[in-house]
């Protein structure tokens, strides 16, 4: 596998640059052969690089950025007023070919807007999409897209998301012909709105996608589909609703388990013995949403990620860059466009 | 409180009439003063009524129905071909004023279509909506609508859902001025599609709703809003996604807990001691989605409900019928229509 050079936006995320540098340090200590361009404000980042003994490390290069996109800044404003932000400079390194991918834990809206503006979509691709991996009951992962890059989509855009998601699942999960489904309010053909019905016809008619019909929300985690397609409005709400429920369940479980010393003791014991099966569900392992359809690898880390989770996002970027996911998507979209003529 | 007469569709649900009759028997044994018109096929239902000693009970009247709507039948077909189904006859009893409400665990699409056709919407109401209560982190309930009665909605329809949900939360939760929110992919005003943006303006301009802005999916269970409004496509997917995640978590928890005799023992002990806090989250307690906006109380019980859960759905119907929820919604919608002129 080729060595990769990643541009890392060190200023993004709720927890500041320390978790980013910590994540890099862990990866380097584990023996990663890749190179990292750490983009951020000199005064915030260089002391941390010294602290972690990365200031003169051959795999780490610091790149200064004057500006920072705030987490609550409006994307349009960030796009216009922050051309020298760490996010913009990281994307610029990718656009100029000086990096093979970008990882940022910053403002999602700003990252999507800047990435779209600075990198552009691949030839023939209508819109980029935000895609994430979800754990499923079969022990594997299913990919859900779009998670919020597009508030509404026409059926051709949803069709393309199916094509792009299929290429991604092939590469990332090593599945030869991933099952691609559309998220709908029922499984019967007559269910849903016109956009999903037309997208279904379009997906069923293509030889380049293994379309397996509609799935309902309860199948996000069942493993019935390897790729699940919806517009960004629906995907964002579905995923965040699940986050909300998980928080509620964990809160109830914790308060029940912490109410007595014996439960606490047992909980620790149980935790150790069942670590593996729980680890599969932990958000840390699923951190790193891919912004696909662009001319370059861009990974969005969750704003509240810790160092371990940020490390997962970096690994995701390495995998996609090594597999040349954008080029593979470009090839597939070209074949699909040829099929139509 | 007045005594209520409910028409119960005994043939709906995956588990057949036995759980329905079992639920009725439990309610009557608990001393409910209400009357039940049990609608179903003679040969399936009367033996069960005898078995539970309800065949000559003064609070129970059997009503024969020749046909049954199957759980997987297409709603349009059920509407045309099954005018003598238990579902239709139960709704007919309500339409004729012989019952104060209907409870059915049958085919959701068919129930929505038949109820809309047989009862009609209240004056001024554009569309009925399916509404359910969700447990929240504050220990209360939030109401989510629409859950699938309408695949797409215009902004005026979403506005009306806010009005109707507000009346329902006032009555069912005894909140004087419920917080009403729109479900969106972000909380800022610029987020989302045109339909939710226009619905937000409409809700903010009315004196008859306490509109508190957009909420994201993670607030479905936070208690931030008492009423959360979305179209049926989004609501259905959000709720079913949560069902899917809950199944995944419970599966993992069970397999972890059942892997050793000591865990199993502890689990039983823990279960007993923490029953109360878990009971709050159990679907049994939240069974009973209300089809609101119609000229009558119609409650949809989950297809897979057990007797206890079906009992919750019956209680929901009794509460709504006693509070005359349809009349209260009619009054509020009238006030809103007057406000516009």
Q: What is the pLDDT of residues A168-218, one digit of tens each?
A: 999 999 999 999 999 999 888 888 899 999 999 999 999 999 999 999 999
Distance CA B139, CA B221 (A): 10
Cα distance from N-terminal residue to C-terminal residue, chain A = 36
Q: Say if residue B1's pLDDT is above 90.
A: no
| CB spacing of B241 vs A220 below 8 angstroms | yes
**Sign of the CA dihedral A141, A293, A171, A195?**
positive
Q: How many CA atoms lie within 13 A of B45 on its CB side?
A: 27
Q: Say if residue B286's pLDDT is above 80.
A: no
| CB spacing of A281 vs B241 below 8 angstroms | no
Minimal Cα–Cα distance from B222 to chain A, Å? Answer: 7
CATH homologous superfamily for B1-125+293-324? Isopropylmalate Dehydrogenase (3.40.718.10)
In tens, the pLDDT along A67-89 reads 999 988 888 899 999 999 999 99
| CB spacing of A243 vs B183 below 8 angstroms | no
What confidence score (pLDDT) does residue A252 get?
77
Tell me if the bond preceding A119 is cis, omega within 30° of 0: no
| CB spacing of B243 vs A218 below 8 angstroms | yes
Q: Which residues of B touch A217 (CB under 8 A)?
A: 236-244
The two domains B1-125+293-324 and B129-285 share their CATH topology (first three levels equal):
yes
Element holding A330 (H helix, E strand): helix A325-340
| CB spacing of A220 vs B247 below 8 angstroms | no
Q: Which of A212, A122, A200, A191 is nearest to A159 (CA)?
A: A200
**CATH class entry, domain A129-286:** alpha beta
Q: Which of A137, A221, A240 sits opposite B218 (nearest CB)?
A: A240
Pick the CATH number of A1-125+293-325 from 1.25.40.10, 3.40.718.10, 3.30.450.90, 3.30.420.40: 3.40.718.10
What confidence score (pLDDT) does residue A298 get?
98
From A242, which residue of chain B is nearest by alpha-carbon distance? Answer: B242
| CB spacing of A247 vs B218 below 8 angstroms | yes
| CB spacing of B237 vs A234 below 8 angstroms | yes
Distance CA A228, CA A147 (A): 11
| CB spacing of B241 vs A217 below 8 angstroms | yes
What confidence score (pLDDT) does residue A285 get?
64
Q: Which residues of B touch A245 (CB under 8 A)?
A: 220-221, 242, 245-246
CB atoms < 10 A from the CB of A123, how many? 10
From A137, which residue of chain B is nearest by alpha-carbon distance? Answer: B248
From A221, which residue of chain B is nearest by alpha-carbon distance? Answer: B244
From B232, which residue of chain A is nearest by alpha-carbon distance? Answer: A185
Neighbouring residues of A226: CB distance < 8 A, sequence distance ≥ 6:
A140, A142, A143, A169, A173, A175, A178, A179, A180
From B224, which residue of chain A is nearest by alpha-carbon distance? Answer: A244
CB atoms < 10 A from the CB of B168, how many? 25
Distance CA A188, CA B67 (A): 23
ipTM of the modeled complex: 0.89
Q: Which residues of B touch A152 (CB under 8 A)?
A: 193
Distance CA A85, CA A65 (A): 6
Element holding A158 (H helix, E strand): helix A155-173
| CB spacing of B137 vs A109 below 8 angstroms | no
Q: Which of B237, B252, B259 sits opposite A238 (nearest CB)?
A: B237
What confidence score (pLDDT) does residue B268 get?
72
What confidence score (pLDDT) does residue B284 get?
61
Q: What is the DSSP string of B11-24?
A: T-STT-HHHHHHHH
User: Cβ(A288)–Cβ(A300) under 8 Å?
Assistant: yes
What confidence score (pLDDT) does residue B143 get?
97
Element holding B135 (H helix, E strand): strand B129-135
Local confidence pLDDT in tens for the 341 residues of chain A: 789 999 999 998 888 899 999 999 999 999 999 999 999 999 999 999 999 999 999 999 999 999 999 988 888 899 999 999 999 999 999 999 999 999 999 999 999 999 999 999 999 999 999 999 999 999 899 999 999 999 999 999 999 999 999 999 999 999 999 999 999 998 888 888 999 999 999 999 999 999 999 999 999 999 999 999 999 999 999 999 998 998 888 787 777 777 777 677 776 776 666 666 556 556 566 788 999 999 999 999 998 899 999 999 999 999 999 999 999 999 999 999 888 76
Q: Say if residue B273's pLDDT is above 90.
A: no
From A188, which residue of chain B is nearest by alpha-carbon distance? Answer: B74
Residue spans per domain, chain B: 1-125+293-324, 129-285
Least confident stretch, A108-117, A225-234, B15-24, B277-286: B277-286
Could you give the residue ranges of the DSSP H alpha helices within chain B?
A: 17-29, 42-51, 75-81, 86-95, 108-119, 155-173, 194-204, 232-257, 261-273, 275-279, 307-322, 325-340
Cα distance from N-terminal residue to C-terminal residue, chain B = 36
How large is the angle between the packed helices A108-119 and A86-95, nearest 10 degrees?
A: 30
Distance CA A87, CA A107 (A): 9
> How sure is the predictor about B124, in pLDDT bands with cuts at 50, 70 and 90?
very high
Percent of chain B with pLDDT over 90: 77
Pick the CATH number of B129-285 from 3.40.50.300, 3.30.1280.10, 3.60.40.10, 3.40.718.10: 3.40.718.10
Element holding B181 (H helix, E strand): strand B179-183
Minimal Cα–Cα distance from A180 to chain B, Å? Answer: 17
Average pLDDT, chain B: 92
Q: What angle do CA A234, A284, A13 make, to 5 degrees?
A: 75
Q: Which residues of A touch B191 (CB under 8 A)?
A: 151
What confidence score (pLDDT) does residue B34 get?
98
In tens, the pLDDT along B222-262 reads 999 999 999 999 999 999 999 899 888 878 777 777 777 76
Q: In what order do the strands lie in the sheet with A141-145?
A: A60-64, A35-40, A5-9, A101-104, A297-300, A289-292, A129-135, A141-145, A227-229, A179-183, A210-215
């Amino acid at each position: 596998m080729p060595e990769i050079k990643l541009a890392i936006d060190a200023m993004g995320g709720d927890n500041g640059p320390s978790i980013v540098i910590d994540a890099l340090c862990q990866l380097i200590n584990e023996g990663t052969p890749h190179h990292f361009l750490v983009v951020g404000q000199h005064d915030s980042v260089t002391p941390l690089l010294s602290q972690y003994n990365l200031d003169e490390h051959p795999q780490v290069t610091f790149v200064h950025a004057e500006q920072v996109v705030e987490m609550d800044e409006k994307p349009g404003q960030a796009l216009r007023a922050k051309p020298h932000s760490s996010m913009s400079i990281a994307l610029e390194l990718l656009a100029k070919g000086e990096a093979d991918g970008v990882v940022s834990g910053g403002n999602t809206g700003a990252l999507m807007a800047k990435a779209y503006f600075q990198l552009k979509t691949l030839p023939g691709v209508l819109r980029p999409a935000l895609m994430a991996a979800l754990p499923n009951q079969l022990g594997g992962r299913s990919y859900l897209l779009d998670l919020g890059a597009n508030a509404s989509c026409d059926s051709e855009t949803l069709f393309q998301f199916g094509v792009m998601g299929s290429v991604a699942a092939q590469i990332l999960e090593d599945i030869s012909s991933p099952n691609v489904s559309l998220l709908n309010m029922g499984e019967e053909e007559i269910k849903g709105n016109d956009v999903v019905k037309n997208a279904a016809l379009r997906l069923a008619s293509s030889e380049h996608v293994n379309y397996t019909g509609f799935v309902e929300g309860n199948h996000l985690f069942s493993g019935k589909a390897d790729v699940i397609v919806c517009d960004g409005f629906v995907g964002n709400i579905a995923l965040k609703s699940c986050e909300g429920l998980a928080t509620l369940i964990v809160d109830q479980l914790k308060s029940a388990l912490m109410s007595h010393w014996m439960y606490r003791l047992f909980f620790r014991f149980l935790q150790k013995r069942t670590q593996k099966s729980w680890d599969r569900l932990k958000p840390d392992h699923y951190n790193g949403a891919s912004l696909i359809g662009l001319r370059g690898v861009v990974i969005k880390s969750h704003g509240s990620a810790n160092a371990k989770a940020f490390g997962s996002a970096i690994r995701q970027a390495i995998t996609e860059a090594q597999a040349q996911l954008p080029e593979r998507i470009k090839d597939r979209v070209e074949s699909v466009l040829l099929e139509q003529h």
